[in-house]
Amino acid sequence: MGVERGSSPLESFEWEGQVEPVSYVTTENVAPGVRCEVYTFVNDPTTKDLGIIFVEPGHATPRQRVLQGEVTYEGYISGEGVKLEIVRKDGSMVTLLAQSGLAVAVMVGDIMQWRAGANSPLKAFEVCFPPYAEGRYETVE
């Protein structure tokens, strides 16, 4: 049982109350059971980009520390028993049970990780300001 993209890539994405056109770039295999579809915002390609994250049941994204960028927004799309764990730069830990409308700012120095439910795939989004570049994250144990 995997998490599948639809028969065609997204053409638009709702961000901050507005539906914006997006253009598919590539799909990256992040880790076993985790992949990310990368999109550009057609009308704003230099300020931000979009990742749609798919996590198979019982899997999790790597724990990643944000090293670069202004801000990264992590948000929930679908899945049951899903949670987002964030260790803030000051060491405090935040565990959020995913629900409709969840979108959280993750800052430089924070560590984040999505976890899919045992029996349910996870679909989440990530909006990066500025667009993602190699070296934005480091995987931590």
Q: Is the pLDDT of residue 54 over 90?
A: yes
- Region 112-134: mean pLDDT is 95
The model's pLDDT over 11-48, given as tens digits with 9 standing for 90+, comes to 999 999 999 999 999 999 999 999 999 999 999 999 99
The model's pLDDT over 65-115, given as tens digits with 9 standing for 90+, comes to 999 999 999 999 999 888 999 999 999 999 998 888 889 999 999 999 999
CATH architecture of 12-134: Sandwich (2.60)
Q: Where are the beta strands (DSSP E) in 63-109?
A: 64-66, 71-78, 83-87, 93-97, 103-106
| Per-residue model confidence (pLDDT) at position 122 | 95
> d(Cα 53, Cα 37) in Å, to the nearest integer?
7
Judge contact between 74 and 113, C-beta under 8 A: no
